[in-house]
Amino acid sequence: MAVRLKEILKRLESQCPSAWAVAGDRVGLEVGHPETQVKKILVALEATPEVVAEAARRGAQLLLTHHPLLYQPVKEVREDQPSGRLLAAVIRAGLALVSCHTNLDVAPGGLNDYLAQILGLTEVEVLAETARDSWCKLAVMVPVGYEERLLKTLGDAGLGVIGRYSHCSFAVRGQGTYRPLEGARPFKGEVAKLSRAQEVRLEVLVPESRLEATVALVKEAHPYEEPAYDLYPVKNPGAALGLGRLGRWPKLKPFPQVVSLVKKLFGVKTVKVWGQPAEQVQRVAVCGGSGGDLIGAALSKGAQVYVTGEVRHHQVPAGGCKDFAVLEVGHFASEVVFMEPWAKQLQHLFSETQLAVQVEVAAEQTAPLGYL
């Protein structure tokens, strides 16, 4: 059974809201119609001719990528040019195309959190803060006996998080009243008659950027035809959002061991090294993709090694820095490692929210450049 693309977009908004993308980034639906029926999603780092052909061959209706295809404004679609041929191939294949770019980089549990995880870092924090996601409080009234189901739905979607605790809520019982009007389909009670119900007032904290997706989840999971809920702004400081991550290893690692570990984790044979590395390393920063602009942040926060995808020559501090090194693994390698874990995350998210859609990872992903 297929699901509409707009329902998938709602779930993506709950994982990595488009509001989290950095200014000027292009994320979300790039090609296709929100009413498209989707049975299979193919996940890839980026749309290439090989990946588009694979998506069509494997019967996917949606190609979900990290890199946007339409990152630059489109002036023309000429099939005698590579970009025009690629866009035309997407459309001819009947594929919808959606991208989650810097919003996925920033997202808790997203690309940069995953890189910190595979590196084995502890005490992880945001390297370069881009915003604070303000908190709101959701108070929703639900009939007694249904509060656990609703809490699980919200918690599994990443709502109700306080620090290192998930599925946080407060609940109190009370009595609700309602009189169904003509045309209503009440959960209990009769049209035109005043009804009373034993209800639970369930309160959870919700990031402001996810209010729309949260309300949609409440309406889907709630047994009432018209759920009663309130949304309040609160003064609690919002969670830090940003690019890159900073953490530490429990024990010092010799620099040669660090280089070997990075090569293994990112599946590369060579690593470009900038700077004057320390003999022993414990404090590490990481950022997938083009992370050269965050070298200063890594330095100022005491990182001894900074692992990233690519760096421009003039982004490296002139004269080098003692006991600090940048390890450049390549843009493609620094991000493609997350595509399979991301697909698994999405499959779990869709399954938990009763979306019958299959998520697979593209096999035809190759780096656009290499070394001879």
Which residue in this structure is represented by tokens 């499959």? 347
What is the average pLDDT score of the chain?
93
Instruction: List CB contacts of 210: < 8 A, sequence separation 6 or more.
Output: 13, 14, 17, 158, 159
State whether 124 and 260 are in the same domain.
Answer: yes
pLDDT band at 80 (very low <50, low <70, confident <90, very high): very high
State whether 144 and 79 are in the same domain.
Answer: no
In a domain, 165, yes or no: yes
State whether 216 and 187 are in the same domain.
Answer: yes
CATH number of domain containing 295? 3.40.1390.30
In this prediction, residue 243 carries a pLDDT of 97
State whether 156 and 294 are in the same domain.
Answer: no
The last residue of one of the domains, among 187, 203, 237, is 237
In a domain, 367, yes or no: no
Expressed as residue numbers, the domain containing 278 is: 111-130+241-335
- Quickly list DSSP for 43-109: EESS--HHHHHHHHHTT-SEEEESS-TT-SPP----TTSHHHHHHHHHHHTT-EEEE--HHHHHSTT
pLDDT band at 176 (very low <50, low <70, confident <90, very high): very high
Q: Most distant CA pair in the chain: distance in Å?
A: 81
State whether 325 and 249 are in the same domain.
Answer: yes
In this prediction, residue 30 carries a pLDDT of 96
pLDDT band at 209 (very low <50, low <70, confident <90, very high): confident
Is the pLDDT confidence value at 372 over 80? no
pLDDT band at 302 (very low <50, low <70, confident <90, very high): very high
pLDDT band at 368 (very low <50, low <70, confident <90, very high): confident
State whether 125 and 139 are in the same domain.
Answer: no
State whether 357 and 299 are in the same domain.
Answer: no
Instruction: List CB contacts of 216: < 8 A, sequence separation 6 or more.
Output: 10
In this prediction, residue 140 carries a pLDDT of 97
In this prediction, residue 355 carries a pLDDT of 83
Write the pLDDT tens digit of every residue in 331-365: 999 999 999 999 999 998 888 777 889 999 999 99
Q: State mean pLDDT over 220-237.
A: 92
Cβ atoms of 304 and 325 closer than 8 Å: yes
In this prediction, residue 351 carries a pLDDT of 84
> What is the C-alpha to C-alpha distance for residues 132 and 234, in angstroms, rounded to an integer?
13
Which residue in this structure is represented by tokens 């996810």? 210
pLDDT band at 371 (very low <50, low <70, confident <90, very high): confident
In a domain, 369, yes or no: no
Give the chain's domain count. Answer: 3
In this prediction, residue 239 carries a pLDDT of 79
The last residue of one of the domains, among 190, 207, 237, is 237
Instruction: List CB contacts of 75: < 8 A, sequence separation 6 or more.
Output: none
State whether 77 and 155 are in the same domain.
Answer: no
The last residue of one of the domains, among 206, 237, 268, is 237
Amino acid at 248: R
More reliable by pLDDT, 161 or 67: 67
**Degrees to nearest 5, angle at CA 99 with 96 and 104:** 150
